[in-house]
Amino acid sequence: MCIRDSGQTTAGYNVQIAVDSQHKLLVAVEVTQDGNDTQQLMPMLEKAQAVLQSEQLTGLADSGYYSGEQIKQAHEQGIELYVPVPNKKGRAGKEGRFTRDRFTYDGENDCYRCPQGEQIARCGKLRPQGKRNVSVYKSKKSACKNCPLRPQCLKENATYKKLERWEHEALVDQHREHMKGTRPMMINRSSYVEHPFGTLKHRAGMHHFLMRGLEKCRGEFSLMALCYNFTRVLNILLSLIHI
């Protein structure tokens, strides 16, 4: 299968691990054929939760795992989640126009406010967009026509600003607030989860799979994870004996 990595396509599999922060053991592992990590977070957390039998699980992941739907699932299952929201500029940012974060949502009046302070009001009811339901918000043409910030906001031929809001976007807004001040925690996350990959690659020599086929590769990686955990447990026990 093909994996997208930094804009390049590579033949391979997508390996997932969940590491416990106390003993640095591999709690759950998986090998998938998904080209990215956006749908992997909750399945891995659910596996970890089943193993740990914990009702107060806290999950940390990098921004590659961010997904609004995954945030919603974690909220529904009572899992505390720390995943940075990607800073995606999109086409507007690349073209030098205002990005979505420049428009502030006013929950009390169910509208957005543009950088100039004008209202972008909701238009109509929820409508399906793929697997999501979204609300559409549009500005007044008269407000945009003479706006001094118009070149920074609209395309050349556009007459109004249009924004879409997911029906569960409030959870995403809460998550953004939740992530403030968590940089030290996220730095520690890297030391937990990246270290096992480095150990498996450079000590065990697992730079690629020897087997072919998804199920065989899953079996191969499960054996490597078992060996890793076994070595880790021995090191923990030896450290306790020395104490």
Q: Are 73 and 46 in contact (CB under 8 A)?
A: no
The answer to whether residue 60 scores a pLDDT higher than 80 is yes
The answer to whether residue 6 scores a pLDDT higher than 70 is no
161 C-beta neighbours (distance < 10 Å), count: 22
How does pLDDT run across 114-172, given as a tens digit for each residue? Answer: 999 999 999 999 999 988 999 999 999 999 999 999 999 999 899 999 999 999 999 99
Query: Which residue is associated with the tokens 């592992």?
Result: 29
Whole-prediction pTM value?
A: 0.85
Confidence (pLDDT) at 243: 61
Amino acid at site 46: E
Confidence (pLDDT) at 83: 96
The continuous run of DSSP H or E covering 121 comes out as: strand 119-129
Angle at CA of residue 105, ends 100 and 106, nearest 5°: 160
For residue 133, the number of C-alpha atoms closer than 13 Å in the C-beta half-sphere is 6
- Give me the mean pLDDT over the 33-52 stretch: 93
Measured distance CA(212)–CA(115) in Å, rounded: 54
Q: Are 35 and 14 in contact (CB under 8 A)?
A: yes
- Give me the mean pLDDT over the 103-119 stretch: 95
Measured distance CA(154)–CA(138) in Å, rounded: 12
The continuous run of DSSP H or E covering 21 comes out as: none
Q: Which 8-state DSSP code applies to residue 196?
A: H
Confidence (pLDDT) at 8: 65
